[in-house]
Structure 1
Amino acid sequence: MDSVQTYPCAERLSLVEQVHGCTVADPYRWLEDSSTAETERWSRDQDDLWLTYAGTLTSRFRWKNRVRQLSDVGSVSTPVWRGGRCFTLRREAGGHPILFVDETPLLDPKQLDPTGLTTLDAWQPSPDGTKLAYQLSRGGDERSTLNVLDTATGELIDGPLDGCRYSPVAWLPDGSAFYYVRFRQVRRHRLGDPDDTTILDREASYGLELSADGRWLTICTTTDLWFADLTTDEPPAHLPQDTTTIMSVGPDNRLYVVTASGIGIGDPAQPTLWREYIQPEGPLTGLAILDDVVLVATASQIAVHDRETGARQSAIDLPGFGSVGSLTSDGNRAWFTYTDSVTPPTVYCYDATTGRMTGTASGGQRAETQRLSYTSPDGADLELHVIGNQGGPTILYGYGGFGQTLTPTYSAFALAWVEAGGAFVTATIRGDAPHRESTKQQTIDDFIAAAEYLIAEGWTTADQLAICGESNGGLLVAAAITQRPELFAAAVSSAPLTDMIRYELSGLGERWTSEYGSVKDPDEFKVLASYSPYHRVTDGVKYPAVLLTAFGNDTRVDPLHARKMCAALQHATASQRPVLLRFEPDAGHVTGGINLAADMLAFLADQTGLDR
């Protein structure tokens, strides 16, 4: 289906505002309020439009079955050892995650809520393994409540404590209390006590670390660091820093300091005096301090270093070019996950005493990841990771923000596409690690340059090239189609930010000014206005086919961004390709699962010719 005869009526307001002396039009401001009769009517009409189009995609059911088959691989987390007990999160093929202690099921979210809408967001055992702090949310909204249970009996012994969205938990050694983040403040909670002690009342996103002996507490944000000796009554000391710094006191009672430039080591009694220790070969993703060595993990490598000197000794021999994650340790052993384009996440164990690694990769599809180099317009050398065949329908995927690392990972979505004859390409662009420092326009330019490279080198054509991204990647996709629409046949922008002039006013936008900048600053406003996708939509342009996806329980990115972008594109486009909005009322941030993946694949296959 190449065209939509008519789009739902959407009134264009003559709303114009002056911001720092610049004129900003916002014709679809009314779509920000989801509760009005006008927005509800428009949304129902968009639902009907999507369902009508989706009904023409006869391949949806085939895609759904194949994605389900490729997803049913099961998983197990790296073990967390506490008090001689082993905690793991396991999911059998076709099942849901269950937390085990040793070989006994401890926490099953579906037993707590048979509807399956409750999610186990995070969990942290006490040092002696007798208690478990865990966080639950419902419907994908990520508004976690924290509870504590007895690991021997499974009985609830504290909670629920609300306002604990992805809170770190730092237990005292005896398990009587813990430090955590509630309502974005650092607090100490003693089990059974209804009143917390507030440690830092300034609202922020905090990380917490407590030394094994319970003496040294470190608190960090992206811009600040505090360090406390809990044997004194002194409040946490604010430490000056020039860059993002993470401090932690290791099991050897040495202070480990992680900055963008490397790892330092020192004495916790003098936290501002430390020396250079290890220089990782890429952005650090994990650090494990074993009895004899220190393991330093980057996105696709684990290096072994001498614990005393920090000198590099060797690297763990990984199964291939993929991604390393979830590094945990106990004594002289460490566990980590490995995944690549065709290998589901698999747990491996490295024994530093013998130097041996154990673990069995899951059998699966065979597809080689090719690494291609290309150059951005300003001369930056970047890389593409490609699976699939050259010369046909191709999906280009990107993210480009928050220092995220994009190395090959297992994706049922990508494998299903490649099996059907397409190619799937991941662009490593600035904004991702290791290219953290960049402007958003550089990130967009990098992504566009990747598309141009794929076309110029014969990997695909503009009529067969689709782009895809979610969250910050959804913003990237929306920006790319408004700046270079002729390069793409289709685009999927999932849970995107699109109105960058007003992004701070909804969802978690006000917490992201360090990534995007703030409209309150005149210079940063000009940058935001220059690439804001919603404001760059132009009447009469032939835009590619666009599928915007949004989620009713998304507390990070409000669906208003997708609604406003959809209305703007439907009004403006001069092409015969459809602009559609797919909305899931009961899902959270990019949590649509197999049905969403199947719909996206069917849409992209229809628009790029893979299904023909």
Structure 2
Amino acid sequence: MTRLPYPPARRDEVLDNLHGTAVPDPYRWLEDPDDPATKEWLAAQSALLDSALRRRPKFKERIAELLRSGTIGPPVWRGERQFFMRRTPDEEHAVLYTVDPGGSERALIDPMRLDPSGLTTLDSWQPDKEGRRLAYQISVGGDEESKLHVLDVATGEVVEGPIDRCRYSPIAWLPGGEAFYYVRRLPPGEVPEGEEQFHRRVYLHRVGASAEDDDVLIFGEGLEKTNYYGVSVSRDGRWLTISASRGTAPRNDLWVADLSACDPERPELVTVQQDVDAQTSLSFGRDGRLYVFTDRDAPRARVCVTDPAQPGYEHWRDLIPEDPEAVLSDFAILDDLDRPVMLVGWTRHAISEITVHDLVTGERIGEVPTPGLGTIGGIVEHPDGGHEAWFGYTDNTTPPSIQRYDARTGETTLWAASPGAVEVPAVDTEQVVYRSADGTEVRMLVISRPGAEGPRPTILYGYGGFGISMTPGYSASILTWVEAGGVYAIAQLRGGGEEGEQWHRAGMLANKQNVFDDFHAAAEHLIATGVTTPEMLGISGGSNGGLLVGAALTQRPDLYAAVVCSAPLLDMIRYEKFGLGATWNVEYGSAEVPEEFAWLHAYSPYHHVREGVAYPATLFSVFQSDTRVHPLHAWKMCAALQHAQSADRPILLRNETEVGHGARAVSKSVDLAADQLSFLADHTGLGE
């Protein structure tokens, strides 16, 4: 290939002096999407992409075919009704269904009926405690600006909404379905300019009343602007729980109120924990006990019990103690038994398992059979008690299914499979262990065709942040790549949650370089063991994973042949100024603090692009409606790399409109995945 004719991008003499360090920013003008120069540059980049990206129709066809498996979600019971999500093979979005008391099933919310364009997504939903009303939130065009509605479940009639500014709001219904607690941002006119995404409050809302005039402020006034709030009401309606966390911090403050002893409009909150470096949540059992899920003094988490009237730490007693190896993920209580039990979900090196414990003593008395070595997506119990539990299951070759466990028989059976029948290729999955630069053992899943030998084109994927674990799961993209002869590796890096909260903290703030070192070491292990070569190795990551591969390509451009960098953070000096960036300084640090600026400046990918370096072929994929990570990160980095690139490997930008950071229509997901695989195939040598 010859060097592409990149669209001209002016380099301005913009220089900031931060804590005595000169920080150039020649492409700051690209931060303004409404600037005519930015629009012209983006249009030229789109034209360049269309001319330079060799799209492979077979990838698109196969990804679409494998996604015809559809999806199925776990059941939720309220009163005599059941609710669940399902996407059939030909649907663009999953549909929310209800099963009426007589057993008849019907669609309750279909995003495509709301908006045939496919741009509307169902962000969340919560039925009331009796199953008569349902609060749901929708957004349009990927902006995730959820608007809240309430409908009558029996008739399907919308009885309220829209209520705006409800992004990421939990809904906590009071008994009777006439009122709920929820979280809403203050109006834009009441907050400083540029802070419209923050300043949340907890309110009590009565159905039919004016959200603007009649909502009762419950909590949040005068607290940290970036706080997120959780709110829940126990099944019997007695106990209100409110939690607060600064941005995405791995810690929270927690309060509880006895609504039977106070006015719901003026709950008398009792502190459970405050200013403690730990995450804790509460569950009120039907047996009158309070169950405490916490990583306080237990980085791999534990379950404690106490009296709800004495919720403080000093009264906690271990029921399920911390495991030295497995991370406790969730639990469910089955109490319609002669010997009530607690089902406890764990991940052991990112592989899920469920154990059975005596509810009174915590003694382990068995385990729940699971379909294989995969991922369990939460354990669901009936809120009114019972002997059954349901959990989602998937692995690298198994589309999502819902399994049912019967504690009376000890058996697990398939409750609901994904609705589409697809022929899944045979693959081998191996979990390998390698050592990072500092000697730390790190694990990696390596997925390949059975019997494949010799170096092969390989994609290395990683994330490494926010305590999020990389666990096995059905992926049409991975299966398509492996079926075509490639290898797909998923590194379980520090910064994730695979080994508990200590593992997370070993890859955040001042320790962020550990994540990049773990990733480089994964690449070197794949090369050293003959799986691939630098010329056949591509890397891929999105969001925080986009930061990961951005740092990888600037730190070790010699190690990688191709990069797909999706919805990335790349300017780590100014990231707090855009999107939800200010909520992430608890993970990365703030450029306003001298010591933390030094951490960020040491790896910020945009600031480490150097002229005359042979960089890997790179495809940036970003989404113009992304309100979490602004696409300006990729725009600026793309311009910088196109200017600096000394090799003939292309630097391309895929800038997509009317989609955002999260959910999107299936067809748009297919197009994106096919383009990414096509690019990686061309630059790692994967044949047709």
How many angstroms does 1:545 deviate by? 0.2
Alignment of 1:147-296 (within 5 A): 147-183=149-185, 184-194=200-210, 195-201=214-220, 202=223, 203=225, 204-220=227-243, 221=245, 222-230=251-259, 231-232=261-262, 233-238=266-271, 239-240=273-274, 241-260=276-295, 261=298, 262-272=302-312, 273-279=315-321, 281=323, 282-291=326-335, 292-296=340-344
User: Given the alignment of the two structures, is residue 130 of structure 1 paired with residue 132 of structure 2, yes or no?
Assistant: yes
Q: How many angstroms apart in 2 are the aligned matches of 1:5 and 1:116?
A: 35
How many angstroms does 1:585 deviate by? 1.0
Match of 1:284, SS state, is strand
Q: How many angstroms apart in 1 are the aligned matches of 2:346 and 2:217?
A: 35
2:547 maps to which of 475, 478, 486? 475
Q: Quick check: 1:266–1:275 contact (8 Å CA) kept in 2? A: yes
Aligned position for 2:575 = 503
Q: How many angstroms apart in 2 are the aligned matches of 1:540 and 1:112?
A: 52
Q: Quick check: 2:71–2:87 contact (8 Å CA) kept in 1? A: yes
Aligned position for 1:564 = 636
Q: Quick check: 1:227–1:237 contact (8 Å CA) kept in 2? A: yes
For each residue in 1:158-196, what CA deviation from the matched residue of structure 2 results, as whole angstroms up to 9, or x when unmatched? 221111112111111221111111112111111111121
Aligned position for 1:607 = 683
Match of 2:309, SS state, is coil
Which is worse superposed, 578-587 or 365-374?
A: 365-374
User: Given the alignment of the two structures, is residue 392 of structure 1 paired with residue 456 of structure 2, yes or no?
Assistant: yes
Letter matched to residue 228 of structure 2: S
Q: How many angstroms apart in 2 are the aligned matches of 1:361 and 1:71?
A: 14
Aligned position for 2:505 = 437
Q: How many angstroms apart in 2 are the aligned matches of 1:158 and 1:285?
A: 36
Q: How many angstroms apart in 1 are the aligned matches of 2:162 and 2:474?
A: 35
Which is worse superposed, 280-289 or 369-378?
A: 280-289
Aligned position for 2:656 = 584
Gaps of 5+ in 1: none
For each residue in 1:20-56, what CA deviation from the matched residue of structure 2 results, as whole angstroms up to 9, or x when unmatched? 11111111111100111111111111111111112xx
Aligned position for 2:43 = 44
Aligned position for 2:353 = 301
Which is worse superposed, 319-328 or 145-154?
A: 319-328
Q: How many angstroms apart in 2 are the aligned matches of 1:280 and 1:69?
A: 43
Q: Quick check: 2:63–2:477 contact (8 Å CA) kept in 1? A: yes
Letter matched to residue 45 of structure 1: A
For each residue in 1:420-469, what CA deviation from the matched residue of structure 2 results, as whole angstroms up to 9, or x when unmatched? 00000000010111221122110111011100110111110000000001
Q: Quick check: 2:151–2:160 contact (8 Å CA) kept in 1? A: yes
For each residue in 1:211-251, what CA deviation from the matched residue of structure 2 results, as whole angstroms up to 9, or x when unmatched? 11212111223332222222225542343333122223233
Q: Quick check: 2:55–2:675 contact (8 Å CA) kept in 1? A: no
For each residue in 1:310-334, what CA deviation from the matched residue of structure 2 results, as whole angstroms up to 9, or x when unmatched? 1222221222211110321112211
Match of 1:529, SS state, is helix
Q: How many angstroms apart in 2 are the aligned matches of 1:33 and 1:137?
A: 24
Letter matched to residue 373 of structure 1: V
Alignment of 1:451-490 (within 5 A): 451-490=523-562
How many angstroms does 1:285 deviate by? 2.9
Q: Quick check: 1:286–1:325 contact (8 Å CA) kept in 2? A: no
Q: Quick check: 1:74–1:93 contact (8 Å CA) kept in 2? A: yes
User: Given the alignment of the two structures, is residue 63 of structure 1 paired with residue 59 of structure 2, yes or no?
Assistant: yes
Amino-acid identity (%):
51
Are residues 401 and 58 of structure 1, via their aligned partners in 2, closer, same or farther at CA, if it must alter by over 3 Å?
Answer: closer
Q: How many angstroms apart in 2 are the aligned matches of 1:572 and 1:509?
A: 27
Q: How many angstroms apart in 2 are the aligned matches of 1:526 and 1:3?
A: 38
Match of 2:647, SS state, is coil
For each residue in 1:544-594, what CA deviation from the matched residue of structure 2 results, as whole angstroms up to 9, or x when unmatched? 000001101101000000000001111111111000000001111154400
Q: Quick check: 1:396–1:465 contact (8 Å CA) kept in 2? A: yes
Letter matched to residue 596 of structure 1: L
Aligned residues: 608
Which is worse superposed, 206-215 or 579-588?
A: 206-215
Q: How many angstroms apart in 1 are the aligned matches of 2:536 and 2:240?
A: 54
For each residue in 1:341-394, what CA deviation from the matched residue of structure 2 results, as whole angstroms up to 9, or x when unmatched? 110111100111211111076773321211111011111111110111452000
Gaps of 5+ in 2: 100-104, 186-199, 246-250
Q: Quick check: 2:623–2:655 contact (8 Å CA) kept in 1? A: yes
Letter matched to residue 264 of structure 1: C
Q: Quick check: 2:72–2:417 contact (8 Å CA) kept in 1? A: no
Alignment of 1:71-90 (within 5 A): 71-90=67-86
Q: How many angstroms apart in 1 are the aligned matches of 2:353 and 2:3?
A: 48
How many angstroms does 1:3 deviate by? 4.1
Q: How many angstroms apart in 2 are the aligned matches of 1:420 and 1:561?
A: 32
Match of 1:152, SS state, is coil
Which is worse superposed, 310-319 or 439-448?
A: 310-319
Aligned position for 2:373 = 321
Q: Quick check: 1:285–1:325 contact (8 Å CA) kept in 2? A: no
Letter matched to residue 108 of structure 1: D
Q: Quick check: 1:251–1:289 contact (8 Å CA) kept in 2? A: no
Q: With structure 1 as the length reference, what TM-score do the two structures score?
A: 0.97
Name the structure, 1 or 2, with higher relative contact order (CA <8 Å, separation 6+): 2
Q: How many angstroms apart in 2 are the aligned matches of 1:407 and 1:3?
A: 40
Q: Quick check: 1:148–1:156 contact (8 Å CA) kept in 2? A: yes
CA RMSD in angstroms, aligned pairs only: 1.5
Match of 1:512, SS state, is helix
User: Given the alignment of the two structures, is residue 97 of structure 1 paired with residue 94 of structure 2, yes or no?
Assistant: yes
Are residues 188 and 3 of structure 1, via their aligned partners in 2, closer, same or farther at CA, if it must alter by over 3 Å?
Answer: farther
Aligned position for 2:28 = 29
Which is worse superposed, 327-336 or 497-506?
A: 327-336
User: Given the alignment of the two structures, is residue 416 of structure 1 paired with residue 490 of structure 2, yes or no?
Assistant: no
Q: Quick check: 1:135–1:166 contact (8 Å CA) kept in 2? A: no
Letter matched to residue 376 of structure 1: S
Letter matched to residue 60 of structure 2: K
Match of 2:482, SS state, is helix
Q: How many angstroms apart in 2 are the aligned matches of 1:467 and 1:253?
A: 51
Q: Quick check: 1:218–1:248 contact (8 Å CA) kept in 2? A: no
